Structure 1
Amino acid sequence: MAIFGLSDLHLSFRHKVNLYQIDPKQDIEKPMDIFDWNPRYFDLIRDHWVEHVGVSDTVLIPGDISWGLRLSEAVWDFDWIAQLPGNKVLSPGNHCYYAHSKKKVREALPEGMEWIDADWTLVEDYVVVATRGWNLPGDYSFQEQTDRKIYERQVGRLQLALTDARKHHPDRPIICMLHYPPLTKGCTESGFFQLLKEFSVRLCLFGHLHGSSAYDAIQGNIDEVQLCLVACDYLKFAPLDLTQWLYN
């Protein structure tokens, strides 16, 4: 049994589709080739996923799963993911507009899929926590008047998840799922990263960064926390096996 990471799938199916019978002109609401992605990127995801992920494995998906504005639209993307092997743990990203109610999202998910946001779940020997994250103070995109309150709220949500996880499972190592990176070149310290260090988080997965910005991502072992970008296009649409950081 293995644990994988893959975020930013950016799916947009118009209706229920079969894994192997998809016509982009008829079945896709928002094509990703406008962002220079392969027009059939979903086939790349499927093929890599089926090749590497087994039925007993788990894939962690930290955000931007569906372009759906409403849950009634996102369910077709959930259904497509559900056809792939393994268990799936999902958490929100900045484009998950349908995720207003954690309860409703959980009720809409197919079997074998789990949604966490400001809370946690168990995967193998690990406790997995998640929240969305936000723009970091010091980044060029950070606007004090509009971003500060959201940033502080998201830091608080991560603290709630970590505190409760540690209370219930004091001895289990922790994996954290964020959508936004906890550190950037413009912000080399943040409330998110302080919490990761305080709670001795083993591994933090994040997405959100695409194109040239992905290559500026801060990754690797930083103060005993392993940071890992798992954005779909950065990984060439293949789930990343996290074994190298979890079982050594």
Structure 2
Amino acid sequence: MNIYAIGDLHLSFERVVDLEDWENNSQHKPMEEIDSFWRQHARKIYENWNKIVAPGDVVLVPGDISWAMRLDEASHDLDFLSLFTGLIVCVQGNHDYWWQSV
């Protein structure tokens, strides 16, 4: 078992993520609006995570999971995380406003 950590995912999916059609996975606050470097950042995280993390590994996510303001808005982001390999342990970050509505 390995232990990994990654923070500041800043996901913002508006609907269920289609892993076969990344170009049409709309987000309410896409990171590429900040800088083109972040284009398809969720796809890069997903693909690299699943290359490295094995089913028995633990991944610590110390916050800033979603830009959502409420839990219902974060649901697609959390569903997306459920597709990732390994056991994920999340804690609230300073941008996780949705956490207050849990």
Per the normalisation by structure 1, the TM-score is: 0.39
Q: Per-residue deviation at 1:65?
A: 0.2
State how 1:203-242 maps to structure 2 within 5 Å.
Answer: none
Q: Any runs of at least 4 consecutive aligned residues in structure 1 with deviations exceeding 4 A, and if so which?
A: none
Q: Tell whether the 8 Å contact from 1:61 to 1:89 is kept in structure 2 after alignment.
A: yes
Letter matched to residue 13 of structure 1: F
Per the normalisation by structure 2, the TM-score is: 0.90
State how 1:101-120 maps to structure 2 within 5 Å.
Answer: 101=101, 104=102
Q: Tell whether the 8 Å contact from 1:19 to 1:83 is kept in structure 2 after alignment.
A: no
Partner of 2:8: 8
Partner of 2:81: 81
Distance in 2 between residues matched to 1:47 and 1:4, nearest whole Å: 15
Question: What is the aligned length?
Answer: 101
Which protein shows a greater Rg? 1
Task: Percent identity, please.
Answer: 39
Distance in 1 between residues matched to 2:9 and 2:78, nearest whole Å: 11
Q: Per-residue deviation at 1:23?
A: 2.7
Distance in 2 between residues matched to 1:19 and 1:73, nearest whole Å: 20
Change (3 A) 1:43 1:54: same
Distance in 1 between residues matched to 2:73 and 2:89, nearest whole Å: 19
Of structures 1 and 2, the one scoring higher in RCO (CA 8 A, sep 6+) is 2
Q: Per-residue deviation at 1:39?
A: 1.2
State how 1:1-150 maps to structure 2 within 5 Å.
Answer: 1-23=1-23, 27-36=26-35, 37-101=37-101, 104=102
Where structure 1 has 5 or more consecutive residues not aligned to the other structure, the ranges are 105-248
Q: Per-residue deviation at 1:60?
A: 0.2
Distance in 2 between residues matched to 1:83 and 1:20, nearest whole Å: 13
Partner of 1:222: none
Q: What value does the CA root-mean-square deviation take over the aligned residues?
A: 1.4
Where structure 2 has 5 or more consecutive residues not aligned to the other structure, the ranges are none
Partner of 1:207: none
Q: Tell whether the 8 Å contact from 1:64 to 1:94 is kept in structure 2 after alignment.
A: yes
Partner of 1:237: none
